[in-house]
Amino acid sequence: MSFQIALNFEDGVTRFIEASGHETVADAAYRQGINIPLDCRDGACGTCKCKAESGHYDLGDNFIEDALNDEEMAEGYVLTCQMRAMSDCVVRIPASSQLCKTEQANFEAAISEVRQLSASTIALSLKGEGLARLAFLPGQYVNLKVPGSDQSRAYSFSSLQKGGEVRFLIRNVPGGLMSHFLTSLAKAGDSLSLAGPLGSFYLRPIQRPLLLLAGGTGLAPFTAMLEKIAEQGSTHPLHLIYGVTHDFDLVELDRLQALAARIPNFTFSACVASPDSQYPQKGYVTQHIEPRHLNEGDVDVYLCGPPPMVEAVSQYLREQGITPANFYFEKFAAAAA
């Protein structure tokens, strides 16, 4: 039996390999052209020490304590020259992808749908035979090349890959290169190039309650995460707060309702910052975080939004005297022409 191993490099590139339960992760990586740092292959030097962020594996006992001690093993560290996967795994590699002689993958796809959800948000769907081989962790992004230019824009997947098709939520930026293409020129069948996946903002194993905070099109990675949670299930409470500036910025509420119907312990709320809003809940996301959502700090917080939102949430947590078990965030800013 083979398992899928996600190798996350320190420069943000993620590459996926297949490893059988009979070969080490290092051997599987080398077999597929990825040179994880390695010296001895005998569990004696510690050069290949990495951190396994999820999954089940066997390390055996053919290594010495100087290379990997009990305390490190308890924290999830592994020697890839000894690690044999027993399930799909995510392994963080303390080296750049260039050093390991690999690079981000490139894909070609065609637009299957481009739809303006509101004045500020565009839904883009891409499909292609090559995308059927595309693997990523929910929450990650790719770089999409803007047709007719040499520039690319980074967008988070807003769905899992299904049948060679993926979706994105894209902010409609006045003067933006990609925004202009999608609103004025794009049509079904047009070709787009993708490079990735990239990013360290992705769903980790759920070990406690989750608080998800989305700002604008920062909702995208969360819908992909929630699709994954709907597939695998979770026994922990999950709450999403989705904040936007204007009423017309609110999109995909029906999709969140559908996900809430599939995930019994998932709830969500939305809020609009504009004082002119007609939406029932007004203000910023920090005004709608309740003590139960923070669970006295025994909570993993995921946040995706513009830099001022990230800073505001960080300040709010400090003021509340709460230090989450884990705080993962992704900042994004719009790019114009």
Q: How distant, in Å, are the alpha carbons of 120, 136, 205 from that of 282? A: 19, 35, 32
| H or E segment and range at residue 171 | strand 165-171
Strand ordering across the sheet containing 14-20: 14-20, 2-9, 89-93, 49-54, 77-79
- Count of positions (residues) in the chain: 337
Instruction: With H, G, I as helix, E, B as strand and everything else as coil, classify residue 27.
Output: helix
**Which of 205, 179, 207, 210 shows the shortest CA–CA distance to 295?**
210
Question: % helix / strand / coil in the chain, to the nearest 5?
Answer: 25, 35, 40
CA dihedral 175, 176, 182, 185 (to 10 degrees): 50
**Is the pLDDT score of 110 beyond 60?**
yes
pLDDT digits (tens, 9 = 90+) for 138-162: 999 999 999 989 999 999 999 999 9
Average pLDDT of every residue of the chain: 92
pLDDT recorded at residue 61: 87
What burial letters (b/e) apply to 201-217, b meaning 16+ CB within 10 Å?
A: bbbbebeebbbbbbbbb
**Is the pLDDT score of 333 beyond 70?**
no
CA dihedral 2, 24, 233, 132 (to 10 degrees): -50
CA distance 145 to 198: 15
Q: Looking at residue 162, what DSSP letter applies?
A: B
Q: What is the mean pLDDT of residues 41-55?
A: 90
**Is the pLDDT score of 85 beyond 60?**
yes
Written as one letter, the residue type at 213 is L
pLDDT recorded at residue 336: 47
User: 285 near 270, Cβ under 8 Å?
Assistant: no
Instruction: With H, G, I as helix, E, B as strand and everything else as coil, classify residue 73.
Output: helix
pLDDT digits (tens, 9 = 90+) for 156-198: 999 999 999 999 999 999 889 999 999 999 999 999 999 989 8
pLDDT recorded at residue 12: 85
**Is the pLDDT score of 337 beyond 50?**
no
pLDDT recorded at residue 36: 87
pLDDT above 70 coverage of the chain, percent: 98
Instruction: With H, G, I as helix, E, B as strand and everything else as coil, classify residue 308.
Output: helix
pLDDT class for 113, splitting at 50, 70, 90? very high
pLDDT recorded at residue 67: 87
* Domains of the chain listed by start with CATH number: 2-93 (3.10.20.30), 105-198 (2.40.30.10), 210-331 (3.40.50.80)
CA distance 146 to 150: 7
User: 142 near 189, Cβ under 8 Å?
Assistant: no
- Angle among Cα 102, 142, 134 to the nearest 5 degrees reads 70
pLDDT class for 335, splitting at 50, 70, 90? low
pLDDT digits (tens, 9 = 90+) for 263-300: 999 999 999 999 999 999 999 999 999 999 999 999 99
**Is the pLDDT score of 109 beyond 60?**
yes
